[in-house]
Amino acid sequence: MTGQQVSISSTSATAHARSGFAARFKRNLIFRRSIYGIVFIAPAMLFFLIFSLYPMVNGFYMSLTEYTLLKPPVWIGFDNYIDLLENKEFLNGLKVTLVFVLGTTIPKWILSLSLALLFVRDFRGRETFKVLYFTPTLLSGVVVS
């Protein structure tokens, strides 16, 4: 160092050390909080994996095999799916189901949205209209009990 002076401020080193400690403390706190979250969610995730995910994966595997109770499964790949897509009765059932789902869901959705928009607005007779609309819902509970 020829003729140059280098000055190091002790406050910046202290601030850096403090910020390092604060960062480590914050990371440690975040880690501890995430561990608690993992511990509390683990039983629910285990339940989900055992009773939901495993049967789905196993069912998909079994769909790729020819399986009977008397013989071990034989791997056939996607032949079952090819057979389904060539079966006219299955395709007709799929079409009928699709038409039913779309034909009932979309009108219900449109009707529900339009009634919700109607109930939000202020107009004369709004409360009477609400009573007339919700009476069947209330009466079904009375009839059941």
pLDDT in tens, the chain (145 residues): 555 665 555 555 555 555 677 777 777 777 777 888 888 999 999 999 999 999 999 999 999 999 888 999 999 999 999 999 999 999 999 999 999 999 999 999 999 999 889 888 888 988 898 888 888 888 877 777 6
Look at the pTM and tell me if it is higher than 0.75.
no
- The predicted structure's pLDDT at residue 56: 96
E strands within the chain? 65-66, 74-75
Q: Nearest CA to 43 among 33, 51, 34? A: 51
Instruction: Find the radius of gyration of the CA atoms of the chain.
Output: 33
